[in-house]
Amino acid sequence: MVRRLGLSGAVSLAVVALILVAVAAPGLVAPASPLEISPVDAFQSPSLSHLFGTDESGRDVLSRVLHGARLSAGIGLAATGIGVGLGLVLGFCSGLGPRFLDAAITRVVEVLYALPTLVMALLFVAVIGPGPGSSILAIGLATAPGYARMVRSRVRQVSGSDFVAYARHEGVGPVRVFARHTLPNTVWPLAAMITLGIGQAIVWVSALSFLGLGASPPSPEWGSMLNAGRVYLLNAPWMTLFPGLAIVVTATALTVLGRRMSKGSAA
């Protein structure tokens, strides 16, 4: 497994595993409560007692970053799930449906795909209102066109393959061809792209929260922490540094892992 992923892929896998632990049970690894305030400990620089320092309310930044993994990564996972699910429906309907349906879906998807994802997410949030739930729905809807294009392309490729043509020639019904050939050979290669998409979704989730359109303070969400820390950037840079590093490291690890998986599936 390590040899197939390479050193960078193995390190990325280890980072993702640590993030999943923080998502599943942040209380096991966080040294303190992410919401407990202690005004006398405010603005303490990183030390042995507070490895990432403390914020303006004396809250432990390390604990907030670890608990923030559940919010940031959790929202990113949920948003990716919505985007992939909607993309699968649109992609299969377009790739296997009649020409008029394919043309209609393709035109709509191409128009939406031409818009930057974050701009689309901002438009959706403007319509449905700010909040974590809105961020999930907005990013899911904004990423769906990209997944729909990939699914349609893959469906067309699989449907025109020799093994599908042979199965049809042998009298296998369309439902069985779809279940045994089209579906698995379309969905499985998307695993690498989904891994990449989760990293991108986490960045967009943090961007919305930084703009005040996602999770709001004192919620320990990485983008929200960046927004709160920017006010004290000169006096307490660790308030911005560590949540920013969490976003960068998580997105980078998922991107490297996704690329390694993509190369492995291609090989």
pLDDT at 42: 93
In this prediction the pTM is: 0.85
Tell me the C-alpha distance between 61 and 57, whole Å. Answer: 10
Task: Please state the rounded mean pLDDT for residues 71-94.
Answer: 91
Express each pLDDT in 193-248 by its tens digit.
Answer: 888 889 899 999 899 989 888 888 788 899 999 999 999 999 999 999 999 999 99
pLDDT at 24 over 80: yes
pLDDT band at 186 (very low <50, low <70, confident <90, very high): confident
More confident residue, 138 or 176: 138
pLDDT at 60: 94
Q: Copy the structure tokens of residue 81.
A: 């799930």
pLDDT at 263: 66
Average pLDDT value over all residues in the chain = 87
Q: Copy the structure tokens of residue 57.
A: 């309310």
pLDDT at 5: 64
* Weakest-pLDDT range from 33-37, 55-59, 162-166: 162-166
* Weakest-pLDDT range from 82-91, 147-156, 187-196: 187-196
Domain residue ranges in the chain: 60-266
The third-level CATH classification (topology) of the domain covering 60-266 is MetI-like fold (1.10.3720)
Task: Please state the rounded mean pLDDT for residues 249-265.
Answer: 81
Q: What is the 3-state secondary structure (H, E, C) of the chain?
A: CHHHHHHHHHHHHHHHHHHHHHHHCHHHHCCCCCCCCCHHHCCCCCCCCCCCCECCCCCEHHHHHHHHHHHHHHHHHHHHHHHHHHHHHHHHHHHHCCHHHHHHHHHHHHHHHCCCHHHHHHHHHHHHCCCHHHHHHHHHHHHHHHHHHHHHHHHHHHHCCHHHHHHHHCCCCHHHHHHHHHHHHHHHHHHHHHHHHHHHHHHHHHHHHHCCCCCCCCCCCHHHHHHHHHHHCCCCCHHHHHHHHHHHHHHHHHHHHHHHHHHHHHC
- Which residues, at least 6 apart from 239, have a Cβ–Cβ distance to it below 8 Å? 53, 55, 56, 61, 225, 228, 229, 232, 233
| C-beta separation of 76 from 23 below 8 A | no
